[in-house]
Amino acid sequence: MTESLWLLIPLSVVLAFVIGACFWWAAGAGQFDDLTGPGERILQDDDGVPDALVNKQRETGPDLINIKLPK
């Protein structure tokens, strides 16, 4: 039984280092700077809008800001 320890313990140490390195990278890359935003972005993707419209707007430029104000 104890023989398995010789494999498992070094393995767990290696794993801990890998996980640690992953976390270290993630924190350094700013993955934890904003914990709400990405979740909201997925939920609020504008499914109702056909892609064609979005693409058209991209091509024709910023329609958004040229809306004429009603007098």
**Residue ranges in contact with another protein by CB under 8 A:** 2, 5-6, 9-10, 12-13, 16-17, 19-20, 23-24, 27-28, 30, 32-37, 40-41, 43-44, 46-50, 53-54, 57-65, 67, 69-70
Q: Where are the alpha helices (DSSP H) in the chain?
A: 2-28, 37-43, 51-60
Side-chain-side CA neighbours of residue 42 (13 Å)? 4
User: Cα torsion for 12, 15, 16, 19, to the nearest 10°?
Assistant: -160
